[in-house]
Chains A and B, each alone.
Chain A
Amino acid sequence: MAARAIRGAGALAAAAALAVAASACSAPGGSSGTKGAKDSAVVGIAYEPDSLSPLLGYGKDGNSKIFDGLLTHDADMKLQPALAAALPKVSADGLTYTYELRDGVKFSDGKPFTAKDVVFTYETILDKKTNNASKTELDALKSVEAKGDGEVVFHLKYPYAPFAERTVLPIAPEHVAGKQDVNTGEFTTKPIGTGPYKLVGWSKGEKLTFTANPDYWGGAPKVKDFTMAIIKDDDIRATRLRSGDLDGAILPPNLAKTFAGDKAKKTYEAKSFDYRVVTLPTGNDVTGDTAIRRALDVAVDRKAMVDSILDGAGKAAYGPVPTDSEWFTKGTERTHDLKKAEQILDDAGWKKGDDGIRTKDGVRASFPLWYLSGDKLRQDHALAYASDAKKAGIEVKVQAGTWEVIEPRMPKDAVLAGGGAPADPDFDQFTMLNSKLAGDGFNNMGHYDNPAVDKALDEGRKTDDKAKRKAAYDTVQRELVKNPGYTFLTHIDHLYVVNDDYPDLTTQVEPHDHGLASGPWWNVEDWQPKK
Chain B
Amino acid sequence: MARMTGRRALFAVPVLLAVTFGVFAVAAASPFDPVKAYAGTAGLTASQENLDQLRANLGVDQPLATRWWQWLTHALSGDLGDSSVLRQPVSEVIGERLGWSVLLAAVAFTVAILLGTALGVLAARRQGGWLDRGITSLAYTLEAAPPFWLGLLAVWFFALKLGALPAGGLTDTGTTVVSASQVLSHLALPAGVLAISQLPWFVLYVRQGVGDALAEDPVRGARARGLRSRTVLLSHALRSGMLPVLTLIGSRVPELITGALLVETVFSWPGIAAATVEAATSVDFPLLAALTVLATVAVLLGNLLADLLYGLADPRVGFDG
A residues in contact (CB < 8 Å) with B: 23-24, 27-28, 33, 40, 42, 50-51, 53, 56-57, 128-129, 131, 133-137, 139, 183-184, 186, 188-189, 200-201, 203-207, 209, 211, 225, 227, 229-233, 235-236, 239-240, 242-246, 402-405, 419, 431, 437, 440-443, 512-513
Q: How large is the interface on B (under 10, 10 to 19, 20 to 34, 35 or more residues)?
A: 35 or more
C-alpha gap A53/B88 in the complex (Å): 12
Q: Are B160 and A27 in contact (CB under 8 A)?
A: yes
Residues of chain A lying within 8 A (CB to CB) of residue B43: 133, 441-442
Q: Are B268 and A441 in contact (CB under 8 A)?
A: no
Residues of chain A lying within 8 A (CB to CB) of residue B85: 50
Q: Which 8 pairs across A and B sit closest by C-beta, in order of nearness? A: A133-B39, A133-B42, A205-B274, A184-B82, A51-B87, A134-B42, A206-B270, A188-B87
- CB < 8 Å: which of A23, A136, A211, A246 contacts B46? A136
Contacts A206-B270, A243-B159, A441-B48 aside, 16 further interface pairs with beta carbons under 8 A come to A42-B174, A50-B40, A53-B87, A128-B53, A131-B58, A133-B40, A183-B82, A188-B88, A205-B275, A211-B176, A227-B174, A236-B155, A239-B160, A245-B173, A404-B31, A404-B33
Q: Are B46 and A183 in contact (CB under 8 A)?
A: no
- CB < 8 Å: which of B53, B163, B275 contacts A243? B163
- Count the A-B residue pairs with Cβ separation under 8 angstroms: how many? 154
B54 within 8 A of A: yes
User: Mask for B14-53, Cβ within 8 A of A = 1, else 0?
Assistant: 0000000000000000011100101111111111111101
Q: Are B167 and A402 in contact (CB under 8 A)?
A: no
C-alpha gap A77/B85 in the complex (Å): 31
Residues of chain B lying within 8 A (CB to CB) of residue A442: 43-46
Residues of chain B lying within 8 A (CB to CB) of residue A139: 47
- CB < 8 Å: which of A57, A225, A443 contacts B42? A57
Residues of chain B lying within 8 A (CB to CB) of residue A28: 163
Residues of chain B lying within 8 A (CB to CB) of residue A405: 31
Q: Are B268 and A230 in contact (CB under 8 A)?
A: yes
Whole-angstrom distance from the CB of B271 to the nearest CB of chain A? 8
Residues of chain B lying within 8 A (CB to CB) of residue A205: 264, 268, 270, 274-275
Q: List 13 A-B contacts (CB under 8 A).
A: A50-B87, A133-B43, A183-B87, A203-B270, A204-B86, A204-B96, A205-B264, A206-B268, A236-B152, A419-B44, A419-B45, A441-B45, A441-B46
Q: Are B270 and A204 in contact (CB under 8 A)?
A: yes
C-alpha gap A513/B57 in the complex (Å): 25
| Most chain A C-beta atoms within 10 Å of own C-beta, residue among B83, B152, B176, B275 | B176
C-alpha gap A232/B262 in the complex (Å): 13
Q: Which residue of A lies closest to B273 (CB)?
A: A205
- CB < 8 Å: which of A23, A184, A246 contacts B173? A246
Residues of chain B lying within 8 A (CB to CB) of residue A200: 176
Whole-angstrom distance from the CB of B198 to the nearest CB of chain A? 22
Residues of chain A lying within 8 A (CB to CB) of residue B54: 131, 133
B250 within 8 A of A: no
Q: Are A135 and B50 in contact (CB under 8 A)?
A: yes
Q: Which residue of A lies closest to B278 (CB)?
A: A205
Whole-angstrom distance from the CB of A3 to the nearest CB of chain B? 27
Q: State whether A402 and B32 are in contact (beta carbons under 8 Å apart), knowing that A135-B50, A188-B87, A440-B47 are contacts in the complex.
A: yes
Q: Are B50 and A441 in contact (CB under 8 A)?
A: yes
B166 within 8 A of A: yes
Q: Which residue of B lies closest to A200 (CB)?
A: B176
Q: Are B160 and A136 in contact (CB under 8 A)?
A: no
C-alpha gap A189/B176 in the complex (Å): 16
| Most chain A C-beta atoms within 10 Å of own C-beta, residue among B46, B51, B82 | B46
Q: State whether A243 and B96 are in contact (beta carbons under 8 Å apart), knowing that A50-B87, A135-B50, A442-B44 are contacts in the complex.
A: no
B170 within 8 A of A: yes
Q: Are B31 and A231 in contact (CB under 8 A)?
A: no
